[in-house]
Structure 1
């Protein structure tokens, strides 16, 4: 429990709940401002055009093979006005540089749900699809994911204005030095500190508790979707391979049957063509899986916002507790009474009270500390209030984006499945015609 003295001094402004109408109005106004604002993506075309495999030496002077990605940028105005655009500005970036950029954004904008990067290595592999991180199909999917990450940042109303991000897109060498010069690494909160704050916060904001539950539920649902999709893909692979076996059997059978040979061979060709399309289909399946994985990784970004709020709240509560203790000490010195047992109080009783001059000097020192403490509380309250307002608006922006993206992805996935079923029906219709001609 916090000290009873002066409770109004330790009120947490950031925990004042907004009504649903006020929150909806704030979100609507913010969305309007975002629509009015000109994000970087509206001013600049950004593409990750290609990937290239390179060989070099790493930090410990050992040979390594890695991929680099070509970033192309050009002004949008030249394209929209029908002017023949000049060659785009280009530079190469490694995956580790994308990681550095994202870590910088996470630390610098703790109230933002920062978009995740695509997975660094292949985690789920389907049959013929290679597990090698240098596999062209995997590298291509990662290229698409990195481009999507840049588009997410460039279209964000806050992140798009960051100078370091702009330098990442336009400066080949100076960018990395500028990142380290910001000192963002020293500002990064440790996991241990975050865990300590999570356990010791006495007045948690129920909205951020609900946000953590929302993040956990989103992770569970998306994980279940990915598992279902994996089972569907596995079964689909089996179905296509059965058709491959049919094609081989019909082809071999056609060599034994003179009268039915042509029909069997034609039916076998249809089966073979259907079976051969499985690799392209599974690669398309992986594209939809990547869209789901993006939101699976987004849950970590949501929890990062929650952790930062818990840290802010914990620092506010510790400052308030310290201020209350200082006020109590001043009261005890002024009245000469000790409200609670302490070693200091026992020492005074055993060895005598302090002189009036000593007591007055301590009171003056405490008054100065109390004044500083009240200013600190004021600053911490403002920091907490600002964090809650900005974070909550960005969270609502994220939720709208998530609903829109997942709806489009699931509809496209359903359309793809319907198309595959129609293709299967057509294959067997063609095979039936071949059989009827025998």
Structure 2
């Protein structure tokens, strides 16, 4: 949805650390502004912790099985960060959680989900968490049980192509992610050496009267190069790697939706075979086969619409990401060049 038609705005900010007897955790403020009639008020402000976001994601997967659910950042691992209570970790997670909610809020179906509404508005989320599995999710479990081991006869080629694309896409991103992490590791090691290297010239200058000024100049140059490299490394760690990781997780989520689609088709084909054996007579209402066929067609339509939406978002995100990193590298080399001159 574009800015003029959007009627739901969500922001994640203001992380706070809570230290309790049994645990320590971070909560984030969720700010919501909306003009939708199903909301009682135009603005909401509540606090949520990571496990609340995880509850929302699970509920969306249960109740909206035909749609791609945006991924959450991994619970304990953010690339390049060890301490999950450090400012860097918390800020990286906050940005990922903010993107997670914005992707849901911008979706024409997910944004109207009742659990998303509860997540954004309820002061007491625990009472909703205690509710059992939905009928839809239980039915999904029975479908998986019935269709396990069933081989599809007529899987549409377009969905096979989507699956192959997602496999290749995740593989390529995984390779880029590993190389980027190796580059960052080497840059950090180089940065450590630079920081040791610069002060040597400063100490030396105190012993050399005639060479004092040029030695101090070299020391200052190395220090400035260290600062420029540190900024570039931070940009890769905080901006580049999280986007790669998000899309790797996104592709896994999408492949799970494809599996669910295949399970629904398997159920349809199994009922079609059973009906043929029974030579089922047509009654006044829709048959079980026709109901399953409707489910398959609904799944196919939702999946294709989400795939198109995802491709558009992916192109925009990676265009912005790659152009941003190119600019950062240009700025780094321009700084280093000016320093050396």
Do the two structures share a fold, i.e. TM-score over 0.5? yes
Q: Cα gap change, 1:373/1:304 in structure 2, threshold over 3 Å: closer, same or farther?
A: farther
Cα displacement (A) at 1:276: 4.2
Q: How does the TM-score come out when normalised to structure 2?
A: 0.87
Please tell me whether the aligned partners of residues 72 and 100 of structure 2 are also in contact (alpha carbons under 8 angstroms): yes
Q: Distance in 1 between matches of 2:151 and 2:312?
A: 32
Please tell me whether the aligned partners of residues 107 and 188 of structure 1 are also in contact (alpha carbons under 8 angstroms): no
Within the candidate set 270, 287, 290, 1:318 is matched to 270
Q: Which has the larger radius of gyration?
A: 1
Cα displacement (A) at 1:237: 2.4
Q: Distance in 2 between matches of 1:204 and 1:307?
A: 11
Aligned partner of 1:420 in structure 2 is 332
Q: Distance in 2 between matches of 1:192 and 1:272?
A: 63
Q: Distance in 1 between matches of 2:132 and 2:121?
A: 18
Please tell me whether the aligned partners of residues 194 and 310 of structure 1 are also in contact (alpha carbons under 8 angstroms): no
Question: What secondary structure, in the 3-state scheme, does the structure 1 residue paired with 2:131 have?
Answer: helix
Corresponding position: 1:69 with 2:28: yes
Aligned partner of 2:163 in structure 1 is 212
Q: How does the TM-score come out when normalised to structure 1?
A: 0.69
Aligned partner of 1:96 in structure 2 is 51
Q: Distance in 1 between matches of 2:50 and 2:316?
A: 28
Aligned partner of 2:318 in structure 1 is 406
Q: How does 1:181-330 map to 2 (within 5 A)?
A: 183=134, 186-187=137-138, 189-190=140-141, 193=144, 197=148, 200-276=151-227, 278-286=229-237, 287-327=239-279
Q: Distance in 2 between matches of 1:230 and 1:195?
A: 43
Q: Distance in 1 between matches of 2:146 and 2:308?
A: 25
Q: Distance in 2 between matches of 1:224 and 1:390?
A: 30
Corresponding position: 1:119 with 2:119: no
Question: What secondary structure, in the 3-state scheme, does the structure 2 residue paired with 1:377 have?
Answer: helix
Q: How does 1:26-105 map to 2 (within 5 A)?
A: 38=5, 42-56=6-20, 63-75=22-34, 89-105=44-60
What do residues 38-69 of structure 1 show as CA deviations (whole Å, max 9, x unaligned)? 4xxx2343221121111336xxxxx2211111
Aligned partner of 1:376 in structure 2 is 288
Within the candidate set 141, 151, 160, 2:111 is matched to 160
Q: Distance in 2 between matches of 1:266 and 1:187?
A: 71
Q: Cα gap change, 1:191/1:257 in structure 2, threshold over 3 Å: closer, same or farther?
A: farther
Q: Cα gap change, 1:54/1:236 in structure 2, threshold over 3 Å: closer, same or farther?
A: same
Q: Distance in 1 between matches of 2:96 and 2:146?
A: 31
Q: Cα gap change, 1:238/1:55 in structure 2, threshold over 3 Å: closer, same or farther?
A: closer
Bigger RCO of structures 1 and 2 (CA < 8 A, at least 6 apart) = 1
Q: Distance in 1 between matches of 2:4 and 2:302?
A: 16
Please tell me whether the aligned partners of residues 45 and 76 of structure 1 are also in contact (alpha carbons under 8 angstroms): no
Where does the alignment leave 5 or more consecutive residues of structure 1 unmatched?
1-33, 58-62, 78-86, 328-366, 430-438
Please tell me whether the aligned partners of residues 9 and 105 of structure 2 are also in contact (alpha carbons under 8 angstroms): no
Please tell me whether the aligned partners of residues 116 and 297 of structure 1 are also in contact (alpha carbons under 8 angstroms): yes
The range that moved more, 256-265 or 188-197, is 188-197
Where does the alignment leave 5 or more consecutive residues of structure 2 unmatched?
37-41
Q: How many pairs does the alignment contain?
A: 336
Corresponding position: 1:143 with 2:94: yes
Please tell me whether the aligned partners of residues 143 and 267 of structure 2 are also in contact (alpha carbons under 8 angstroms): no
Q: CA RMSD in A?
A: 3.1
Q: Cα gap change, 1:265/1:184 in structure 2, threshold over 3 Å: closer, same or farther?
A: farther
